[in-house]
């Protein structure tokens, strides 16, 4: 066995050009697989982050009645978020709880009125990582509107705006708020129709209790393990009349995202398959060039099994070396991409989705290990193609 392994190493270093070309082919295939999957992940992770921040949380708690009439944004179907917090405080995997109120409103500045707006009430200290409000300091008595809306309606910082809406009891009420800061987003349906205010101001104008909210968004340490928390919360609130909604089943946006993720998974498999074919093709071409050597080795007394082992070890060694280089190149490409990003803002000007125009590849060691093993396994598979030739080869 030592002789066969030593001969395999000798053959690898005997023809440097062939070895380098074969290892380079494997390296490119592995690096392309690793980077391609990381790029796909980098495209979808921000979308999931934005949607869970804006709409769904990891788990969303509403009243059962609100869930059925959510499109109408009813303000008389609320949940007690302080009660919810007390009930789930012992679940260690929960990291953040965000109570929110959404309601339809009219905004007036002097004689200028804009109907069809959405009031989005938040508890500011819980929204520090919310992308749209990041860097803002929302306080009671203030309102945050988009730069686009401010320019369109000629609203300046310090202007007083009046919000007029229907209360939980069905009558009209209003509140004066000061425009202190402006948020900026390229998403039309957010920037043109959504305004942010303190949850206590919303509770005042809507005449609901200080502990009431339309919904409560719950966030966990790991979104991929949030299902366990969801099941635990379902048990706790079984008799409460509250509805628990896991992010994977919440909203048409995420349903479309799941379809998109499935499509991208198929794309990743295609990349993997093509890369495997490239590796096998490169290795087989290299091995078939040496059919004369097979006959010569058999003439020297080596059996077919021993000759095959020589080629097997060569394929394995080159596969490990090429896959390692591919892993290194792929990781470097991911790190560079994660630092600088890929800017698609010009191509995405007309896209009305909660997606960042700059894509940053996401490092995944699972992907890296799978790509590395793919290179090695494909190299080993390629050695099987010469097995039949070795058996049929006649001594030189």
Q: How far is CA 81 from CA 123, 233, 358, 359, in A?
A: 11, 14, 36, 36
pLDDT digits (tens, 9 = 90+) for 283-295: 677 666 666 776 7
Calpha distance 367→25 (Å, rounded): 19
Rounded to two decimals, the pTM is 0.72
Query: What pLDDT shows up at residue 332?
Result: 96
Mark 339-353 as b/e (b = at least 16 C-beta within 10 Å).
eeeeeeeeeeeeeee
**What is the phi/psi pair of residue 119, to 5°?**
-85, 130
- Alpha carbon 109 to chain centroid distance? 40
- Which of 93-102, 207-216, 277-286 is predicted least confidently? 277-286
Calpha distance 291→10 (Å, rounded): 17
57: left (phi over 0), alpha (psi -120 to 50) or beta: left
Q: At what angle do helices 291-299 and 304-340 cross, to 10 degrees?
A: 140
Query: What pLDDT shows up at residue 198?
Result: 96
Calpha distance 181→67 (Å, rounded): 32
Calpha distance 128→164 (Å, rounded): 27
| DSSP per-residue codes, 222-266 | -GGGHHHHHHHHHHHTTTTTEEEEEGGGS-HHHHHHHHHHHHHHH
294 vs 211: which has the higher pLDDT: 211
Calpha distance 80→256 (Å, rounded): 31
Query: What pLDDT shows up at residue 349?
Result: 56
pLDDT digits (tens, 9 = 90+) for 246-302: 988 876 556 666 666 677 677 767 776 777 777 677 667 766 666 677 677 767 777
DSSP 63: E
Provide the Cα torsion 71, 353, 135, 129; round to 10°.
70
384 C-beta neighbours (distance < 10 Å), count: 14
Query: What pLDDT shows up at residue 179?
Result: 92
pLDDT at 396 over 60: no
- Could you give the 3-state DSSP secondary structure of residue 391? helix
pLDDT digits (tens, 9 = 90+) for 49-91: 888 888 889 999 999 899 888 888 999 999 999 999 999 989 9
Say how many residues make up the chain. Answer: 396
Tokens (6 digits) for 237? 């609130």
Calpha distance 53→272 (Å, rounded): 32
pLDDT at 40 over 60: yes
pLDDT at 131 over 90: no
Contact indicator for 195, 176 with CB cutoff of 8 Å = no
Calpha distance 206→359 (Å, rounded): 40
DSSP 199: H
Contact indicator for 75, 167 with CB cutoff of 8 Å = yes
Query: What pLDDT shows up at residue 388?
Result: 65
Confidence of residue 352 (pLDDT cuts 50, 70, 90): low
Q: How many Cα atoms within 13 Å fall on the side-chain side of residue 118?
A: 16
pLDDT at 25 over 70: yes
- Which of 144-153, 309-318, 367-376 is predicted least confidently? 309-318
320 C-beta neighbours (distance < 10 Å), count: 16
Query: What pLDDT shows up at residue 15?
Result: 72
Calpha distance 123→99 (Å, rounded): 7
- Which of 56-70, 115-129, 211-225, 291-305 is predicted least confidently? 291-305
| DSSP per-residue codes, 105-116 | EEEEETTEEEEE
What percent of the chain lies above the pLDDT cut of 90? Answer: 37
Confidence of residue 120 (pLDDT cuts 50, 70, 90): very high
As a whole number, the mean pLDDT across the chain is 83
Query: What pLDDT shows up at residue 129?
Result: 86
Cβ partners under 8 Å of residue 290, min gap 6: none
**What is the phi/psi pair of residue 353, to 5°?**
-135, 155
Secondary element (H or E) of residue 383: helix 365-384
Confidence of residue 345 (pLDDT cuts 50, 70, 90): low
99 vs 319: which has the higher pLDDT: 99
pLDDT at 316 over 90: no
Query: What pLDDT shows up at residue 22?
Result: 82
Contact indicator for 69, 102 with CB cutoff of 8 Å = no
Cβ partners under 8 Å of residue 285, min gap 6: none
267 vs 333: which has the higher pLDDT: 333
């Amino acid at each position: 066995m030592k002789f066969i392994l030593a001969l395999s190493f000798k053959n690898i270093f005997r023809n440097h050009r062939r070895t380098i070309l074969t290892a380079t082919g494997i390296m490119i295939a592995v690096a392309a697989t690793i980077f391609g999957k990381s790029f796909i992940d980098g495209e979808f992770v921000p979308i999931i982050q934005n949607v869970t921040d804006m709409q769904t949380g990891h788990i969303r708690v509403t009243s059962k009645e609100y869930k059925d009439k959510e499109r109408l944004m009813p303000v008389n179907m609320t949940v007690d978020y302080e009660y919810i917090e007390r009930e789930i405080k012992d679940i260690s995997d929960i990291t953040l709880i965000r109570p929110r109120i959404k309601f339809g409103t009219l905004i007036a500045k002097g004689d200028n009125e804009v109907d069809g707006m959405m009031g989005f009430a938040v508890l500011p200290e819980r929204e520090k990582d919310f992308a749209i409000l990041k860097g803002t300091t929302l306080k009671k008595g203030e309102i945050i509107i988009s730069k686009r809306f401010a320019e369109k309606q000629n609203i300046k910082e310090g202007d007083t705006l009046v919000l007029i809406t229907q209360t939980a009891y069905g009558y009209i009420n209003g509140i004066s708020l000061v425009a202190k800061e402006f948020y900026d987003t390229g998403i039309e349906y957010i920037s043109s129709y959504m305004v942010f205010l303190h949850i206590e101001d919303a509770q005042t104008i809507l005449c609901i209790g200080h502990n009431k909210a339309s919904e409560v968004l719950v966030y966990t340490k790991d979104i991929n393990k949030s299902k366990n928390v969801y099941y635990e919360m379902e048990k706790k609130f079984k008799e409460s009349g509250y509805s628990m909604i896991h992010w994977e089943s919440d909203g048409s946006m995420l349903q479309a995202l799941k379809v998109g993720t499935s499509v991208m998974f198929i794309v990743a498999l295609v990349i993997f398959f093509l890369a495997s074919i490239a590796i096998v093709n490169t290795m087989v071409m290299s091995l078939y060039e040496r059919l004369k050597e097979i006959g010569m080795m058999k003439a020297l007394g080596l059996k077919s099994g021993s000759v095959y082992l020589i080629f097997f070890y060569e394929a394995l060694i080159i596969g490990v070396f090429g896959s390692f280089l591919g892993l290194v190149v792929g990781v470097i490409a991911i790190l560079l991409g994660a630092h600088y990003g890929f800017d698609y803002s010009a191509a995405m000007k007309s896209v009305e989705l909660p997606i960042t125009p700059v894509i940053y590849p996401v490092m995944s060691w699972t992907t890296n290990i799978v790509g590395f093993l793919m290179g090695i396994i494909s190299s080993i598979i390629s050695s099987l193609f010469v097995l039949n030739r070795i058996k049929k080869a006649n001594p030189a």
